[in-house]
Amino acid sequence: MSSTTSQNDSRAHVDHYSKDVPWYDKEPENFSPACRELLQNYSHIPPGEVTSHVLEMVPSPEFTVNFAKLTCAQRERAWAISPYPCIGRFRFLDLSISLQPSYHRILSFLKEPQSHHTLLDLGCCFAQDVRKLVHDGVPSENLYACDLEQSFLDLSYDLFKDENTMKAHLFTTNVFAEDGPLDKLQGKMDVVYTASFLHLFGWDDQLKICKRIIKTLKPRKGSTVFGRQMGNLKGQEVPNKSVVGQDSSFIWLHDVESFTRLWDTAGRETGTKWKTWGALNDAEGMGTNHWGEKGVQGLRFEAVRVE
């Protein structure tokens, strides 16, 4: 979810933290049933107290707050760290991994007894999708999640109240860094999930990330990357209007054809071949004129290694 490149630029431009932008919502429009269910049954908030969720960071143990206001407070802390659109629009509440068409297939794969199948959430933000997987029965020790911001990972334990039980491997990294934590996972992941991440970059950097993902996945048929991001009815380079820590002022938004071309290129340059699938839709909270950019859609995708 969050960018894993240099954060210096975002610190240099104070206006990046302005809340007078189309991707900042004062409050979430609603909480999905899946989100409420996760907080109730995974975080063990009693059914009658879901809307008065109390966290350790609240000064008084007797002080209760409305769940929406609490989540807004969490979001404000995250916005002060890095004002990504996914933070401004509460996308970390979507549990987007469970909305993917292949979710139940991949869930069953990860749950196979004694398989030790592994998944990495690349650009994980609060690692909310990892929590969803754990709640749905995946052994947490087989899950990995990384983000640039340690503060996001710290906040995630406040949000989900699982600091003493979560065994997933959460770590910080820069996806472009050599000899970083990602190198220790080279060739060890069965699945990579990445949401609201690739669209933060231009074509060249996206290609670098795809090649890095290929290195992280096990070198065999069936290795899979899937996720979601912003797309466009026409694959093209567009101005980066959010500009959070990127070195370039342009990003690439894909249609299905250009996304396929990206993975064909990554495969050719790594000696691998991939079968890709993608679908554009406006059901991701993005209309065809979202953020003033014509043709913006949500893009769900999957790439499976075939050679």
Q: Contact 203/237 with Cβ under 8 angstroms?
A: yes
pLDDT at 92: 67
Sheet holding 224-232, edge to edge: 169-172, 143-147, 119-122, 191-195, 224-232, 296-305, 274-281
Q: Could you tell me the pTM of the whole model?
A: 0.80
Which CATH number goes with the domain that contains 218?
Answer: 3.40.50.150
Report the alpha-carbon distance of residue 258 to residue 160 in Å, rounded: 37
Q: How many CA atoms lie within 13 A of 88 on its CB side?
A: 18
Q: Do the domain assignments include residue 120?
A: yes
Instruction: State the angle between helix axes of 203-216 and 256-270 in degrees (0 to 180), rounded to the nearest 10.
Output: 60
Q: Do the domain assignments include residue 99?
A: yes
Q: Do the domain assignments include residue 257?
A: yes
Q: Do the domain assignments include residue 184?
A: yes
Tally of domains within the chain: 1
Instruction: Please tell me the least confidently modeled range out of 138-152, 209-223, 289-303.
Output: 289-303
Instruction: Please tell me the least confidently modeled range out of 58-67, 78-87, 144-153, 199-208.
Output: 58-67
Average pLDDT on 244-260 reads 82
Q: Do the domain assignments include residue 295?
A: yes
Q: Do the domain assignments include residue 3?
A: no
Q: Do the domain assignments include residue 248?
A: yes
Q: Do the domain assignments include residue 68?
A: yes
pLDDT by residue (tens digit) across 76-121?
554 455 555 555 556 667 799 999 999 999 999 999 999 999 999 9
Residue 187 CB contacts under 8 Å (≥ 6 apart), including other chains: 215, 216, 217, 218, 219
Provide the 3-class DSSP secondary structure of residue 221. coil
Sort strands 296-305 and 169-172 into parallel, antiparallel or unpaired: unpaired
Range of the domain at 128: 8-305
Report the alpha-carbon distance of residue 139 to residue 163 in Å, rounded: 16
